[in-house]
Every structure is written in C-alpha cells, then in structure tokens.
Structure 1
C-alpha cells in the first residue's frame, strides 16, 4: 500500500511489493550472480531467522516488466540505511537516510523485462554522521514501499499546497514543479481543481533538461476547516497538458486540510483562535514481529491505542515517519511533531565533516515530501544534541533557517535536555524540554516543570 488515496489517474504506477531475491554481500562490486534467499519488500531483513542480528551489506533484486517503451521513475519510500540503485546493471542513484523517500528517473527504457538491484547498507561507518548506534534499533532492508511509474518526458515532479487564511477567507498557495528531461523545449498548460473550484495556472515553456516552478494563489469558498474533531480533507488535482495538441500527459493528486498554526501569547493556536493542548506520545517505528516496516493494520492499531488513552498528538521520534502513518493522522485528526533524523549527538559528533550536508539533505527531503500533511503542526530538529555550546548553536541556527525558508506556515522546535545551560531557545517558536522524573532522576515532576518554565526565560 503506497498511500491511503490515489495520486494518479493518467500516470501509470505499479507497486513493487512482494518477494525480492536477496543476498548478503561483503562488498558492493561486483553485484552477486546468485541470490540464495527471498525476502518480502517492504520488510526488515532481521525478521528472517538467518539475519536476526545482521549488520552489513546486502543486495535485493527484482525483475520488472515495462509495458511500453519510454521513461520510468523509481520511487523508494525508505531504504535502511544507505542505498545504491542499479537498473540493468548500471548504477542510477545513491541515497543516504532510511526515513525519507527518494526517486530516480530512467529515460529510454525499452519494452520488456528489466532488472532492478538495490544494494543496502545498514553498517555504522565513518562516512555516516547520523546513522550511529542509538538507544533504539536501526534495521536493515527496503523497509517502505517501492513504486515504478511510467512518466512522460515532461512531467510533474511535485506539488506544494499551503493554506492561507486572511480576514476569514481561505486561499491555497499552489506551487507545481515541472521537469523536462527531453532534448527539446516543450510548452505545457497546467490545470487544477480543488473542492468545487477549477483553475488554470498558465502555460509555460520548459527548456531541455530543466525544471520550472509555477505558483498561484487560489481563493476557495465555503471551506470546512481541518480540526482534530473534524479533520476535513480536500483533494488537489493538477493536470499537465501538451500545448500543441491538448493531450493530457501527466497528473498528480495531493490532499490538503485548511488549517493554520500560530504561536501567540505563550500558546499554540489552531485556525487563529482555538488553543491547542498537546497530549500524546513519542513514537518509534518498531514492532517485535516486523521491526521498522510497520504494516497498515499495525499503524491503525497504534493510533487507535493512542486515541483510546486520550492522546491527540504524536512526535515522530527521532526521524520522519512513513507517509501511510501521516495520511492516517490527517484522516483521524492527530497532531504531529515531525522530527529530522539526528538525536543525542555530542559536539564532536556534530563536527563530523558530513554532518551539515547529511542533515541538510534529510531536512530538505522531510519538508518537501511531507509539507502537504495538515496533521503536521511543527517541524523539529536535533533531539538532545549540543545546543548548550556556541558551536552547536550555529548548527541549530543553520538548520532552523533552512527549514523556515522552505516552510513559513509551521512553527519550529527542538527537544532539549540541557536545562538551564540551553543556548538555543531564542531560535525557535516552541520551547520543548525532555525531562525524566521517575526514570533517570528522582525529581518531583511538578517542581521540575516549574523550574523548566524559568529556564526558558533565563
């Protein structure tokens, strides 16, 4: 299952779930000729009895049939932790980080059978600043769905939809990224619809091998606002039309909820008025029988248990979560603090030569892929890292500024355990403490909360 709603009617897509051939390997090259195992995708290889504690390299192989010659796009929703993707034996892309999706476009694919190989590495190695031993287990495998899409040479890369409320009227700021991988300039029209409103976003010339962005603000009448008690959702459909012949060549559907989040008068407000009291849980993607590859039924069970206990919120500690989980939070009215993949890092770890680059990539992919989810009410970074140092403060500042530049519609936060030594609270919209009375300490919870209120203003 890819998403809880269909994202395309024109673009042909195929989920590559099922059994893939599998082989542990000692080095990336050469790729194995023999595969002695079969493992389900998505899954974690630790669920197989022979690989309960395996940490290393492994290759997954899948034969795929292409019905029509042309361009394909492979999307991987999550590979833990580093992936190298081969198509017909040729390396096409690499990706670092288990918890964000990535794509690769492959042109000029002939009709017929082809081979996809993914080399997966879950080792703790020197060139990884974020994937390190933790107090939670990091699994190996293709842990989230894989999708094969047949795309035209000019196609919709992504859509961003930001709801805006002005003087009790609702608008939707729509941005569409259009990519042209052909050798020729192409002119396309962009058409859209949301609720009962249809709109044209204009025509645009897209130069060869380039990407353009179209933006438009759409007024929407009679909006039912998204709230936890009434999580109303709307589909935004974007269609790409060839200007020369009016052929519809691509489409994409996103889903939005009309809501705003503000932080005024020391409170979080929803839709400009209602104060939000967050009651919830930190949630890891981990389960004794499936590891980090959580099936739909168990995601639903998690959310039903949270709701049964009176919770209304989830923090995705300490990495971006599966889009199926976020889709369900949208539908069920949960509030989400989504967090990047970096936790408990000392200043020495934060000074790793690849730390800035790898964090920037994770932040970018987290926001770009999940920005349309109304359930996400805040972005978080760098859980319990060196925010008590001047050098650490510079890195917190960089990452918060990066995310704020991508999305001004949500507040920013991070969880601190530095108490009165904290140096970064002035950089965020929401001050957040991790406190452990009765767990790591014998402190009185009420007295500790009173102290925390003083720390944030000290």
Structure 2
C-alpha cells in the first residue's frame, strides 16, 4: 500500500480509415490488458519470425486493399524488431507513414470451441490488424498492447492470412507529439521533440492465443503488511457472471492462503516480503467456475511490499530507500527498439555489476518481459508514459528558443490531453500488478513553467490517482522549470529532476556547476520538503577519448562530472536517488549535436564500459553496504 503521510491529494475505437490524419475517438472506459499465458485452460502460439514486409510509399495500401491478398514484395522483416535499420535503402529508414507486415498463421486444431485472439504487444505508433479481408483491430499508441477476438474469422486447424499495418506518424495530438513537413517534391519528414530515434514497426512479439468463453478477464492486486503477515487484496473480473476461487502459493508451491468471491483479501502468515535486490514472488491463481466446474485458470506472480512517502523519505517496506541506477532506452544496433532477450539478460547483469538497484522506463513503457524480469530480480522501476516532448522550448534535448506556446489549441490541446489520459490508462492497466513498479511518471520534461501547464496536468494527476491510489505519482522536471517558475510540482509526491550543470550549463566549468546545482536542489528542498530524485544527469562522452585536462567529451570529464554531482547529492537532506543519463549510448535523429546518437551512456551502445562505469560501480556498491 502507498501511504502519503503529509499531504493528501484529492481501448480506443476509430471509424475512419487508418490513413486518416484525425485523432480517433477514444473510449474512456476501463482498459483490460491481462497478458496471455499458457495455463490448464489457455494456450498461446508465438508469431515471431520473418514476415513479408512492404512500405506504403504512396499511402495507397488501404484503398488498394493490400491486406486482401499476399503482399507483392520481396522484402522480409523480423518480428520483433524496428524496421528502420534493417535495410540498406535509406528511403525505408526515413519513411514517414504506413508499412505492412504479413504472414500465414495456422490455428491449432485443438482450439475448436475456444475463443481465439491475436495480440500485438506494440505497434509504433499506430496499428491496424486484418484477418483475411476483415479489419479486426485498431490502436493508437506505440508502446502498449492491443488485441482482437478473431474467433468468427478463423477455424481450428485452418490457416488464415494475418496482416498488420503500422504507422509511425506523430502529430501535435499524439503521445509523444510531433509534426510532419512535406517538401516540394512530396517527401514527408517527421519532426519530433524527443532525443531518441523514432524507431517504428513491430518491436515486440505478436501472439495467437486461446481462452475459454467464460474466463478471468482482469485481476487487480494490491498488498500491505500487518505485523508479520502479508495482506493481498484482489479484485477479479470475469467475462460473464461466474464464481471466483483464489489460492496463493509460495515459491515452493505450498498453498498459503485461499479465498472465494470476486474481491477480497488473503492473509499470508509469516510473509516473505518482496525487497529490492531480494525479490520473493508468490503465485496467485484465480479460477472462474460455473456450477462448481473450473472454466478458466489464470496465474499471477505477486510480490508483497509497501511503498510510502514520509516527509523527505521514500520508504519500501518501512525502510528508507535510495535509488541508484539509470534512465534507459530500448535501443540496440540493427534491431532498434526491438525486444531482445539476450540484451535483456546482459543489461540486467551489467546493472547488478555496477550496483544499480533501479531504472526509469524513459520515455515509454518497456516490454512486459522487462517488467517481469525486474519483478523476479528485485529491481525497482519508475514506470513512465510516452509523454515526452511536451515542451516547445526544447528540440531533441538541446535548449532552444521557440516562442510558440506548448499548451494551446494549435499545439498541445484538449485532444492531446485525451491521448495522454489514454496512455496513462493503458500503462496502469498493463503494469499495475508488477511489484517492481514503485512509482508512476506521467511525463518527461514538459513545459511545466508555461501558462496552461496546470490546466493540462492536474486532471491527469487526478486520473492517475483514481486508477491506482497504491503508488506515488511523479513527473520529470526539466532544467529551466525552476522551483520558482514550475506550476505543477505541488501536485506530485516525489520531485524528479533532470539537471545538466557542467554540460548544457557551465560547460567544462565544474566548480561553477557545483555551486549552481547545490543552490538549485536546496531551492526545491526548502519549497516542497519532499523526496528528490535526480532522474537525469550526464555528459556526452566519446569512448576512448582522453585528456589530462577537464575536457568535455573525454572519459575523464565524464567521471569528474559525475563525481561533482555526487558531492552535491550527498549534501542534500531530501535527496533519495540518482539515476544517471544514460545506461548506454543510444540512437537519435541526425544533427550537429548528435553524431551517431547520444553518447551520455556509461556503456557504449554495444555495452562496453567507459571509465564512468567503473567509477559508478565503486560508489554504488559502497552505498549498498
């Protein structure tokens, strides 16, 4: 349970063609995102692998009904993977608009009588699914899953043609936002305000799965502690009225608690808590029953732990917690944002080696496999929406001077806010049961100092708390929205700050940077008296570049820069965490400020350590003691 001690706070549908530039009407009801699984009553088939691939250069795929026949193409693309870096054709890498994926799928013959679904884990940033000639699903939002019941379109034992159209366009009414420019020759160019490459495609898995008609449709779990006992509060939704039976097993498989009914609380005596660095997971099994017979069984890992903000402390299980770790990215060579289990394991190994206990999902929800891995290994997660770039005074992370207002009918408007609200709904619906998720971040570096910011964000904060009152809520504050000019910080539980004194400000002058950073942090502490986490601080560094002087871009400067920050952090009472920007170098759009990407990683893009990685390991492993 999340306790706030000092200050109380009060699936989309679309009727137009997928090539419409209009933002679709958004369903504001409950979002269901229970992940498919294999169970005694369910089966699933991974549809990963090579798919036929075709770029819709003329924006004619829908009108010409590409989905109604085999794609006329010689290209193939892997799923999961972003498509941008796969091919040598530069026009594919920079394509703005729709692409089509297609493959043939056979439904297992044993699925007769079951409901059959296709689930897309992510389509960046918009996806349309066709089964044969039928359009069965449409979703806007590039980092959360969507699915369709295709039972009426397929036959057990038979084959069907599965086509997925994916659109990478960003507008002022999408999350994240962007704009599209059209050159005189008709070339379309995507502009966006976030400092990471706009990778596109099917970057996560696609699944075919079966489930009973009478089934568990959603589960919500929250936990608390009563002395030596754990309390697991649950709420189960079923597709139709059915009896519900709950059992909870420990790691050895022993039943440690049972309950009946769609909602209730299970008490676990002598509970083993989920702890950072010492994860312990129970298994909650929810069964749907009709006339005493089990129609569906769904298993959910559960970690029992509490989260509390008390004054200037962040407590996990009643103990002060200090965040060490990173802002990360789903980014690697060739596959772009494509989920890769080898990188997943290696990245977590490097975090363990360096002494990191946490990360932020900057700046979008990561693959569900990442969250599950964090659950199992005791890594704390700040879970963030894709709302990055809501700041027209910034361009690609470099300070600009755009005079256009961020919040206006022509820029971030009511429809942008609706898209943002839906992103929050889907993030919480997907990740609400992960014990590793300790806090929601609803935006990165918005223009929180501009007129209109409070009117935009206050309803979103209220929505987040309504959807999940069990966790703290934060946003990540940009450097030039100071404690004096920021208009929304009082709405949030924890102050998450991005600061680059010594890099974008006081470049190369670490003595001045140290003074300015300390004054900045003390201002936040004195005004709000709440926990402070530095969610970004870092300096671009070219691996292998060295100097005996404090020269920016050298490995020596990156180390000295981090050490300066750490001296300040250790002097701030409200400080509860440090997350370096970034875990590893990552790809961005091209430009004079970004030569082959952002180089602030303490590891290179292929995960080789810079000198800063060893310096951080020395600090963080000593802090852990």
Comparing 442-451 with 52-61, greater Cα deviation is found at 442-451
> Structure 1 152/269 Cα, relative in aligned 2: closer, same or farther at 3 Å?
same
Cα 1:373–1:14, aligned 2, differ >3 Å: closer, same or farther?
same
Aligned counterparts of 1:271 and 1:13: Cα–Cα separation in 2? 36
1:283 to partner: Cα distance = 0.4
Note the C-alpha offset of 1:319: 0.7
Kept after mapping to 2: 8 A contact 1:4/1:327 = no
Aligned length: 437
Cα distance, 1:21 vs structure 2: 1.6
Counterpart Cα distance in 2 of 1:259 and 1:5: 25
Is 1:229 matched with 2:277? yes
Structure 1 pair 406–128 and aligned structure 2 pair: CA distance change class (3 A): closer
Residue 79 (structure 2) aligned to one of 33, 38, 41: 41
* Residue aligning to 1:409: 470
SS at match of 1:54: coil
User: What is the CA distance between 1:200 and its match in structure 2?
Assistant: 3.9
Deviation at 1:353, TM superposition (A): 4.1
2:513 to 437, 440, 444: 444
Shift of residue 5, structure 1, vs aligned partner: 11
Q: After TM superposition, list the pairs within 5 Å mapping 1:101-116 onto structure 2.
A: 101-108=145-152, 109-111=154-156, 112-116=158-162
Deviations 1:387-406 (A, max 9, x none): 22352112221111111111
| Superposition CA RMSD, Å | 2.2
Asked if 1:97 corresponds to 2:141, the answer is yes
Name the SS for the 1:80 alignment partner. Answer: coil
Following the alignment from structure 1 to structure 2, what is the Cα–Cα distance between the partners of residues 140 and 54? 10
Q: Structure 2 CA distance, aligned partners of 1:43 and 1:155?
A: 32
Alignment of 1:209-228 (within 5 A): 214-228=262-276
Contact 2:283 2:301 in 1 (8 A): yes
Greater per-residue strand proportion: 1
Distance 1:4 1:129 in 2: 23
Residues 95-244 of structure 1 aligned to structure 2 (within 5 Å): 95-108=139-152, 109-111=154-156, 112-125=158-171, 127-132=173-178, 133=192, 134-180=194-240, 187-195=242-250, 196-202=255-261, 214-243=262-291
Contact 1:130 1:358 (C-alpha < 8 Å) held by counterparts = no
Q: Is the 8 A contact 1:89 1:117 kept in 2?
A: no
Bigger radius of gyration: 2
The gaps in structure 1 that reach 5 residues or longer are 181-185, 203-213
1:172-321 matched pairs, under 5 angstroms: 172-180=232-240, 187-195=242-250, 196-202=255-261, 214-243=262-291, 246-272=292-318, 274-321=319-366
- Using the TM superposition, give the Cα deviation of residue 9 of structure 1 relative to its aligned residue in structure 2, in angstroms: 3.0
CA distance in 2, matches of 1:424, 1:263: 18
Q: C-alpha separation between the residues in 2 aligned to 1:366 and 1:438?
A: 34
- Correspondent of 1:31 among 62, 65, 88: 65
The separation in 2 between residues aligned to 1:18 and 1:453, in whole angstroms, is 52
Residues 131/16 of structure 1: CA separation in 2 closer, same or farther (3 Å cut): farther
Tell me what 2:21 maps to. none
Matched residue, 1:387: 448
Residue 188 of structure 1: how far off its partner (Å): 4.0
* In structure 2, C-alpha distance between the alignment counterparts of 1:200 and 1:336, rounded to whole Å: 30
- Match for residue 88 of structure 1 among 132, 149, 155: 132
CA contact (8 A) 1:319 1:342 kept: yes
> Could you say what secondary structure the match of 2:258 adopts?
strand
Q: Cα distance, 1:29 vs. partner?
A: 2.8
Choose from 476, 495, 503 the match for 1:431.
495
- TM-score, normalised to structure 1, is 0.90
Q: 1:351 aligns with which of 402, 412, 423?
A: 412
Tell me which of 5, 15, 21 is aligned to 2:46. Answer: 15
Offset of residue 259 of structure 1: 0.9
Q: Secondary structure at the match of 2:455?
A: helix
